[in-house]
C-alpha cells in the first residue's frame, strides 16, 4: 500500500524502548516523538536514564526492546556511524572533545564524520565567535564553557538534521549557561531538530516545545513544556521554589 506521508510525521520516534546493562534495567518502555524542527526536553534526576535514552537513539547501545525511527526509517539496528551519516548527531555528556588537538582539528574531525554534508569551518566560527579566536589552541586550553561550545560546534559542522544534546549546561557558570541556551535557540531557529537532555529542568523546559520527565527509567509525565513548568508535581520535584 502506498500512502502519502502526512506533513505531521515526526522526524524521530522512540517506541517502547528498553535499555538494559546486564541486570540493570535503566530504561523501560520509553516512547516519545519529535516533530521536524521541534525542541523536545528530557528532564529528570541523576540516574533516571536520560543518557541511556540518547545512547539508544544514537546507536551507542542496542535497546533490549523497542524501536527508533528516523524520518520514517527503522534505524534500531543501525550502527552509530550510519546514524551520523543520516544526520542524527549526539553531543555527549562531558563533551568528549580531544584535548591535545586544536579547536580547528576537533572541528575537522566533526566534519569528517559526514563529509558530503559538512559545513565550512568558517560557518562554525560565525556561530561560535569564541572558537574563532581560539582555533589554533589545543582544546584542553579552553574553559569548560568554551569546550562545551566546541563540542556543540563539532556536531553542528556535520549539518545534522537532529542533534541530541546531553546536559550541555552541566557544571557551567550562569553566564555560560545563558550563552549555551542562546546557541541552542539559534540551532533551533536554523531548522535543526533538537532533543535536549538536562538536569536543569527549568531552563530546558523554558526553551522546549514539549517535555518528558523521566523517573527511574520510565516517562512519568509528558506534555507541552509550558504546562510542565506549571505542573505542581513537576514544580515540587524538579523546579523547586523561586
Ligand X SMILES: Nc1ncnc2c1ncn2[C@@H]1O[C@H](COP(=O)(O)OP(=O)(O)OP(=O)(O)O)[C@@H](O)[C@H]1O
- Of 9-17, 46-54, 68-76, 198-206, which part binds Mg ion (CB under 5 A)? 46-54
33 and 17 in contact (C-beta within 8 Å)?
no
Which one of ligand X, Mg ion, none is in contact with 97 (Cβ closer than 5 to 8 A by kind)?
Answer: none
Strands 65-70 and 73-74: antiparallel
Residue from 102, 199, 206, 222 touching ligand X (CB under 6 A): that is 199
Q: How far is the CB of 138 from Mg ion (least distance, A)?
A: 26
Site string for ligand X, 87-126 (x = CB under 6 A): ------x---------------------------------
> What separation in angstroms does the CA of 175 have from each of 95, 135, 154, 169, 182?
18, 22, 22, 10, 11
* E runs forming strands in 96-209: 162-166, 193-198
Q: Is 59 in the site for ligand X (CB under 6 A)?
A: no
For position 148 contacting ligand X by CB under 6 A, the verdict is: no
Residue 20 interacts with, from ligand X, Mg ion, none (CB under 5-8 Å by kind): none
**Among 9, 16, 21, 73, which residue interacts with ligand X (rule: CB under 6 A)?**
21
Task: Give the list of residues 6+ apart from residue 182 with CB closer than 8 angstroms, or none.
Answer: none
Backbone angles phi, psi at 103, to 5 degrees: -55, -50
Binding Mg ion by CB under 5 A: which of 32, 43, 51, 163?
51
Span interacting with ligand X, options 20-28, 33-41, 64-72, 229-237, rule CB under 6 A: 20-28
**72 contact, one of Mg ion, ligand X, none, CB 5-8 Å limit per kind:** none
Starting at the edge strand found earlier in the chain, the sheet holding 162-166 runs 88-91, 162-166, 193-198, 39-44, 210-215, 218-224
Residue closer to ligand X by CB (options 121, 166) is: 166
Q: Which of 2, 4, 8, 46 binds ligand X (CB under 6 A)?
A: 46
Dist. CA 41–CA 167, nearest whole Å: 11
Interface with Mg ion, residue 58, by CB under 5 A: no
Distances (CA, A) of 165 to 3, 6, 53, 116, 208: 33, 28, 12, 23, 13
Task: Report, in Å, the least distance between residue 198 CB and ligand X.
Answer: 9
50 contributes a contact to ligand X by CB under 6 A: yes
C-alpha cell at 96: 568528549
**β-bridge partners, 65:** 18
Interface residue list for ligand X (CB under 6 A): 21, 24, 26, 44, 46-52, 93, 199
Amino acid at each position: 500500500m502506498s500512502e502519502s506521508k502526512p506533513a505531521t510525521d515526526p522526524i524521530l520516534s522512540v517506541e517502547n524502548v528498553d535499555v538494559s546493562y546486564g541486570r540493570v534495567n535503566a530504561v523501560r518502555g520509553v516512547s516519545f516523538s519529535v516533530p521536524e524542527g521541534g525542541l523536545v526536553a528530557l528532564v529528570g534526576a541523576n540516574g533516571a536514564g536520560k543518557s541511556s535514552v540518547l545512547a539508544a537513539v544514537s546507536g551507542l547501545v542496542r535497546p533490549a526492546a523497542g524501536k527508533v525511527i528516523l524520518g520514517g526509517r527503522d534505524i534500531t539496528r543501525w550502527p552509530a556511524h550510519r546514524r551520523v551519516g543520516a544526520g542524527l548527531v549526539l553531543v555527549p555528556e562531558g563533551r568528549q572533545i580531544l584535548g591535545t588537538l586544536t579547536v580547528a582539528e576537533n572541528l575537522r574531525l566533526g566534519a569528517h564524520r559526514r563529509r558530503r554534508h559538512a559545513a565550512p569551518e568558517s560557518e562554525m566560527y560565525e556561530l561560535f565567535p569564541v572558537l574563532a579566536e581560539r582555533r589554533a589552541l589545543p582544546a584542553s586550553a579552553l574553559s569548560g564553557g568554551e569546550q562545551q561550545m566546541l563540542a556543540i560546534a563539532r556536531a553542528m559542522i556535520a549539518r545534522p538534521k537532529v542533534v541530541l544534546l546531553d546536559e550541555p549546561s552541566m557544571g557551567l557558570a550562569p553566564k555560560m549557561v545563558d550563552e549555551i541556551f542562546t546557541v541552542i535557540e539559534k540551532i533551533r531557529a536554523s531548522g535543526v531538530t533538537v532533543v535536549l537532555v538536562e538536569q536543569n529542568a527549568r531552563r530546558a523546559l523554558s526553551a522546549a516545545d514539549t517535555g518528558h520527565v523521566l523517573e527511574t527509567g520510565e516517562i512519568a509525565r509528558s506534555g507541552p513544556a509550558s504546562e510542565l513548568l506549571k505542573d505542581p508535581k513537576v514544580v515540587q520535584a524538579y523546579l523547586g521554589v523561586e
